[in-house]
Homo-oligomer: A and B are copies of this chain.
Amino acid sequence: MNLTVYLAGQIHDNWREEIANLADEKQLPLTFVGPQTDHDRSDNIGEEILGKQPDSYYKDNAASDINNFRTQVLLQKADIVIALFGEKYKQWNTAMDAAAAIEMNKPTILVRPSSLIHPLKELSNKANVTVETLEQALEVIHYIYD
């Protein structure tokens, strides 16, 4: 049984590759999808497609249209969502994607360091499972195939 996994979360390191490698090692039949991970491209995609905007507010507005379009297409295709929080950044998109996924009844795994237990306690409570590492997240999915 093939499953599609949406990887919500920050786009500043290569955690998505890492999780894909772990899945390969375990030979799990998973397809990973997610947001645009090239940060500049994600910020500029509005102007890239729609042309120069009046100022940074409108540039952001245009980019968010297209980033949200992408997320909606791929989230609707997903069987499972993994949402990763790190120690840096505001990560409001991660919170937004995780909350939307839970509301859409997508089985959702939250990954966060123990330092974020308190501020993420309500989101963690709504997610199906909360873990601290990518290995643990993948073990949770692996368990489906046992």
**Using a CB–CB distance below 8 Å, which chain A residues touch chain B?**
1, 3, 31, 33, 36, 38, 41, 45, 48-50, 54-58, 60-61, 63-74, 76-77, 79-80, 89-93, 95-100, 102-105, 107, 109, 114, 117-126, 128-131, 136, 139-140, 143-144, 146
Contact = CB atoms under 8 A, between A and B. Distances in A.
A128 B69 contact: yes
A136 B50 contact: yes
A117 B81 CA distance: 26
A126 B68 contact: yes
Given A103-B100, A103-B103, A103-B104, A92 B69 contact: no
A92 B98 CA distance: 11
